[in-house]
Amino acid sequence: MADNILVMKNITKEFPGVKALDNVNLEVERGEIHALVGENGAGKSTLMNVLSGIYPYGTYTGDIIYEGQECRFKTLRDSEEKGIVIIHQELALIPELSIGENMFLGNERKGKFGIDWDRTYHEAEQHMNQVGLKDDATTLIKDIGTGKQQLVEIAKALSKNVKLLILDEPTSSLNEEDSRMLLNLLLDFKKQGLTSIIISHKINEIAYVADKITVVRDGATIETIDNTDRKVDEDRIIRGMVGRELSDRYPAREHKISPEIGMEVKNWTVYHPVYIEKKVVDNVSFNVHKGEIVGFSGLQGAGRTELAMSIFGGSYGTNISGELSIGGKPIKLRSERAAIEAGLAYVTEDRKGNGLVLEESIAQNTTLARLEKVCSHGIIDVDKENAAAEEFREKLNTKTPSVQQLVGNLSGGNQQKVLLAKWMFADADVLVLDEPTRGIDVGAKYEIYCIMNDMVAQGKSVIMISSEMPELLGMCDRIYVMNEGCMVAEMAAADATQEKIMAAILKSDKA
Amino acid sequence: MTTKTKAAQFIKKYTMVIALVVVFALFAVLTGGRLLYPQNMSNLLLQNAYVLVMACGMLLCILTGGNVDLSVGSTVCLIGAIGAQLLANTNLNAVLVILICLAAGAVIGVWQGFWIGNVHIPPFICTLAGMFLFRGLGRVVLGSRTVSINNQLFLNIFASYIQIPGIDGDVKWSAFIVGAIVAAFLLVNTILSRAKKARKGYKMASAASAFGKIIVIDALILVYTWKLAHYKGIPVMALWVLAVVLIYAFITSKTAFGRYFYAVGGNEKATKLSGIDTKRVYFMAYASMSFLAGLSGLLMAARIGSVNGDTGTSFEMDAIGSCFIGGASAYGGSGTVSGIMVGAILLGVINQGMSIIGLDNNWQYVVKGAVLLVAVIFDVVSNHKTGKAG
């Protein structure tokens, strides 16, 4: 019989009106990497919250058997004492504190009088070594990148004597290089006997790292697939997740690129807003035709977001120079308002932080960038506003009981649709979509791709910034590659491959 | 929906209104009915006129992200001082003096709005500085003395009562007639807007709740104007307050400009990236606040009849307290003018009631503090419970 470190039996968890988990069973063998996949809202995170005691014993039914014992965790601390550590998608680190301070937060290394800082930093660096983090333990969290922050979280878990590590979407905000490093680290830990459960949307990563894959759909486990030989059929996972055939992950599109240019940028240079001597974007030129989807590939920190935001009315950077023309006419955009009026839209990668007002309704968010369209003499016509929001709700198939629903209550995919609706409502002709499918599930991704196709079919120009190369290859007509603020390659999507893109990046690094 | 959840929803929606009714009834009993005397009912409004006016401005500041303006009490003093000195030492017409004072209030607003909106000085610090600056300047203008106001035109504009010869005798019937007209207007307006909605097929509240609400409001207006009629009639100050309140209610609920205050408080970055000039939103919040503080300075000066170096002390706290008691979020992004009016009146009733009973001034502070704390605790706790899962 298999040596199971964890068995979850017949777990059922209900929220008012919703059965989030329905008789879920999960078996995790000691020393394996076990992946949980499923669409957003399928119940993966709920299941892990039950396991870690965030939903205490008594609020669910069923048994948790860990290390052969039945466990009844009342708090997160109970499960951590047993060596179960969960790392959430949104990292729980405090930016203004150092790596060492964060690592032992709530678990301080105490001396005779207060905290023993020497011991804190010494132990912190030991754990950092284990995850291959070379920084000083006194470095502040805000001064290191997201990839390293993720490593700090893992080091923190190690400091708690972790036996079962749960990672919720660990790579969702990492670029490919950092993701790969993280996954390899998990494989290393596996060799040392650590058991991990990884929740992810990225099927290629799961196929790479997981020994077993459990598919969750609508609060129930569908199947557990063995992947010891790393030869799992990705389509089978997707079928299991969505419960239907997804014959093609990228919707087909008629490529009708107009010879007319939608937007052209020449010799664009941008300096960092704080360290004003640092060039963030260096002499970049590109264009996008009407009816064309152009992709921007590159590693995180390549300057793609900075480029897009600096064009969008100078909302990033200082000392911006270069020529910009929209629809063939040279133009200078001095503010976000001017950019919107010129028909440009920047759809942010950070939905919650920069995109939506979560405490306001779908209708109010939809109209925010062009409120004047539903106003007469500065007075809002609420009926007109609702009608407009309703129109986009139908068009984009946003799942919500009403457009009065607060955006904060929607799932990631539906929030992304509201964000897109907002910029479609703003009548943009050139849309810059920054990581439009980040953190949303396969089904919703497909819908977003369809929306993009509709946009170009109407003759709009779309620029898609993405860290997922397959998505760029599947959706774009042309792909630009950026690295360290420079444009390093341009290729037709038909000729492009992931290898070619990576090669372009790596070659430019040496130069 | 069960009646139980309906009742719970009703209580949640109208918590502060219910609290106001309870507190009002409590003090009506405790004062042996004296709170209900026409004179006291009239004073309730006059004594809180400055709170009602300044709470409107403060709401905009708070909407932008829980920021407050600490300088308004001092601005009241400075503008009152300028007005009093101009009236006492020059021959300028009272109307001109009023315009000068309002302009001075606007200048103070531009000063604060500029630093907060355009230079990004944290509002708390900038207005704390303003609190000292304007208090000091006010005392300089007054020469450390109490300056009294004897200009009759000035007093008439702010502190008189409306009297119509021929109608108003012992009982000022004009007040009640105005009340009746307003009540009738509101009733007709409700009927017409429901008819319009029905015609267009829009959703609307049930007839019982819509008419129930309007009948309660109408009844209050009639009772209140009846009381006023049996004192000195409608105070001119009420018209000033009403004008400010209606304008701010309109701006915050109906205009794009007002919507931007909520958006900035909800997510400033997203608002900026939506092409909205967030600097201007901050600027306008503080500019309008100081302007209203200036107006309040004139209202106070006229009501008291004099201005001294301590005029307006801790007024900012009354305005801020009203907003938070009235349901404005301490994190910005939510709050309504009607809500904060309830908050301001609740504070006013407590003040007035305790004064009539003759409770020690120090205890009044204790009670006010407790009410503020309870209101905010209630807001935070009840919102947390109904918030998102997890």
- Distance between B332 CA and the closest CA of chain A, angstroms: 10
Query: What is d(CA A225, CA A246) in angstroms, rounded to the nearest whole number?
Result: 19
**A250 occurs within a structural domain:** no
- Distance between A490 CA and the closest CA of chain B, angstroms: 29
What residues of B are in contact with residue A357 (Cβ under 8 Å)?
262-263, 266-267, 270-271, 333
Q: Which of A334-338, B213-217, B299-303 has the lowest mean pLDDT?
A: B213-217
Band of the pLDDT at A37, cuts 50, 70, 90?
confident
Cα–Cα separations (whole angstroms), residue A140 to A109, A135, A151, A273, A300: 18, 10, 14, 20, 20
Of B200, B334, B389, the CB nearest to A359: B334
Q: What is the CATH number of the domain that holds A465?
A: 3.40.50.300
| Pair A231, A285 in one domain | no
Q: Residue B302 pLDDT more than 90?
A: yes
A511 vs B161, more confident:
B161
The DSSP output letter for A353 is: I
Tracing tokens 């419960």 back to the chain, one arrives at A243
| Pair A130, A62 in one domain | yes
Q: Residue B142 pLDDT more than 50?
A: yes
What residues of A are in contact with residue B280 (Cβ under 8 Å)?
none
End residue of a domain, out of A242, A274, A301 = A242
What residues of B are in contact with residue A54 (Cβ under 8 Å)?
390
Query: What is d(CA A447, CA B60) in angstroms, rounded to the nearest whole number?
Result: 39
The alpha-carbon radius of gyration of chain A (Å, integer) is 24
Query: What is d(CA B299, CA A200) in angstroms, rounded to the nearest whole number?
Result: 63
Query: How do residues A164-215 score in pLDDT, each as one tens digit?
Result: 999 988 887 777 788 888 899 999 999 988 999 998 877 888 889 999 999 8
Among A134, A108, A131, A135, CA closest to A119: A108
**A247 occurs within a structural domain:** no
Q: Are the CB atoms for B315 and B303 separated by under 8 Å?
A: no
Tracing tokens 């007035």 back to the chain, one arrives at B352
Mutate which of A348, A359, A384 to disrupt the B interface (most B C-beta within 10 Å)? A359
In angstroms, how far is the first alpha carbon of chain A from the final one? Answer: 56
**A248 occurs within a structural domain:** no
Q: Put residue A62 in one of left, alpha, beta given phi > 0 → left and psi -120 to 50 → alpha.
A: left
Cβ of A335 within 8 Å of Cβ of B269? The answer is no
What token pair was written down for B27? 């003090």
Surface-to-core class of residue B301, CB atoms within 10 Å of its CB (0-12 exposed, 13-18 middle, 19+ buried): buried
Whole-model pTM: value is 0.80
Cβ of B267 within 8 Å of Cβ of A313? The answer is no
CB pairs under 8 A between A and B: 82
Cα–Cα separations (whole angstroms), residue A385 to A405, A509, B147: 14, 50, 53
Q: What is the pLDDT of residue A205?
A: 86
Tracing tokens 């405790």 back to the chain, one arrives at B30
- Structural domains of chain B ordered from first start: 34-160+237-382 (1.10.3470), 167-234 (no CATH)
Query: How do residues A89-147 score in pLDDT, each as one tens digit?
Result: 777 888 888 999 888 887 888 878 888 888 889 999 999 998 888 888 888 988 888 78
What is the DSSP code string of A434-502? Answer: ESTTTT--HHHHHHHHHHHHHHHHTT-EEEEE-S-HHHHHHH-SEEEEEETTEEEEEEETTT--HHHHH
Cβ of A379 within 8 Å of Cβ of B202? The answer is no
B304 SS3 class: helix
Identify the closest residue of chain A to B264 by CA–CA distance: A357
Q: What is the pLDDT of residue B73?
A: 95
What token pair was written down for B254? 């109906």
In angstroms, how far is the first alpha carbon of chain B from the final one? Answer: 25
Q: Are the CB atoms for B158 and B233 separated by under 8 Å?
A: no
Q: Residue B389 pLDDT more than 60?
A: no
Mutate which of B271, B273, B281, B384 to disrupt the A interface (most A C-beta within 10 Å)? B273
| Pair A276, A207 in one domain | no
What token pair was written down for A393? 């709700």
Query: What is d(CA B313, CA B75) in angstroms, rounded to the nearest whole number?
Result: 10
End residue of a domain, out of A242, A277, A303 = A242
A340 has a chain B CB within 8 A of its CB: yes
A295 vs B166, more confident:
A295
B274 has a chain A CB within 8 A of its CB: yes
Identify the closest residue of chain B to A333 by CA–CA distance: B275
| Pair A220, A364 in one domain | no
Query: What is d(CA A89, CA A45) in angstroms, rounded to the nearest whole number?
Result: 10
Mutate which of A49, A59, A168, A357 to disrupt the B interface (most B C-beta within 10 Å)? A357
Q: What is the pLDDT of residue B3?
A: 65
> Model ipTM?
0.81
B259 has a chain A CB within 8 A of its CB: yes
The alpha-carbon radius of gyration of chain B (Å, integer) is 22
Query: How do residues A429-471 score in pLDDT, each as one tens digit?
Result: 999 999 998 878 777 888 899 999 999 999 999 999 998 888 8
Domains in chain A: how many in total? 2
- Distance between A354 CA and the closest CA of chain B, angstroms: 4
| Pair A178, A113 in one domain | yes
Q: What is the pLDDT of residue A422?
A: 94
| Pair A494, A433 in one domain | yes
Q: Residue A41 pLDDT more than 70?
A: no
Which positions ≥6 away from A234 have C-beta within 8 Å? A203, A204, A207
**A120 occurs within a structural domain:** yes
Query: What is d(CA A229, CA A341) in angstroms, rounded to the nearest whole number?
Result: 55
Of A49, A375, A408, the CB nearest to B388: A408
Of A336, A359, A364, the CB nearest to B272: A336
Q: What is the pLDDT of residue A265?
A: 94
A367 vs B364, more confident:
A367
> What is the average pLDDT across B13-24?
85
Query: How do residues B312-363 score in pLDDT, each as one tens digit?
Result: 998 999 999 999 999 888 888 889 999 999 999 999 999 889 988 888 888 8
- Distance between B298 CA and the closest CA of chain A, angstroms: 30
Which positions ≥6 away from B43 have C-beta within 8 Å? B352
| Pair A78, A223 in one domain | yes
Query: How do residues B54-111 score in pLDDT, each as one tens digit?
Result: 999 999 999 998 899 999 999 999 999 999 999 999 999 999 999 999 999 999 999 9
Query: What is d(CA B235, CA B39) in angstroms, rounded to the nearest whole number?
Result: 12
Q: What is the pLDDT of residue A40?
A: 65
Band of the pLDDT at A1, cuts 50, 70, 90?
low
**A10 occurs within a structural domain:** yes
**A326 occurs within a structural domain:** yes
| Pair A73, A162 in one domain | yes
Cα–Cα separations (whole angstroms), residue B281 to A39, B61, B99, B153, B263: 40, 9, 25, 36, 10
What is the DSSP code string of A124-188? Answer: HHHHHHHTT--S-TTSBGGGS-HHHHHHHHHHHHHHTT-SEEEEESTTTTS-HHHHHHHHHHHHH
Cβ of A353 within 8 Å of Cβ of B274? The answer is no
> What is the average pLDDT across B119-135?
95
Query: What is d(CA A2, CA A32) in angstroms, rounded to the nearest whole number?
Result: 11
- Distance between B4 CA and the closest CA of chain A, angstroms: 16
Q: What is the pLDDT of residue A250?
A: 85
| Pair A237, A268 in one domain | no
| Pair A56, A109 in one domain | yes
Band of the pLDDT at A339, cuts 50, 70, 90?
very high
**A280 occurs within a structural domain:** yes
| Pair A226, A277 in one domain | no
A511 has a chain B CB within 8 A of its CB: no
- Distance between B51 CA and the closest CA of chain A, angstroms: 27
Query: How do residues B237-283 score in pLDDT, each as one tens digit?
Result: 999 999 999 999 999 999 999 999 999 999 999 999 999 999 999 99
| Pair A364, A470 in one domain | yes
B16 vs A362, more confident:
A362
Query: What is d(CA B266, CA B241) in angstroms, rounded to the nearest whole number?
Result: 29
Query: How do residues A486-509 score in pLDDT, each as one tens digit?
Result: 999 999 988 888 888 888 887 776
Cα–Cα separations (whole angstroms), residue A298 to A434, A440, A479, A481, B131: 12, 20, 10, 6, 52
- pLDDT > 90 in chain A, percent: 39
- Distance between A68 CA and the closest CA of chain B, angstroms: 29
Mean pLDDT, rounded, of chain A? 87
End residue of a domain, out of A242, A275, A294 = A242
Range of the domain at A339: 261-510
A228 vs B145, more confident:
B145
> What is the average pLDDT across A67-91?
87
Query: What is d(CA B285, CA B49) in angstroms, rounded to the nearest whole number?
Result: 20
Among A198, A240, A234, CA closest to A215: A240
* Distance, C-alpha B218 to centroid of its chain: 20
**A254 occurs within a structural domain:** no
Q: What is the pLDDT of residue B390?
A: 30
A196 SS3 class: strand
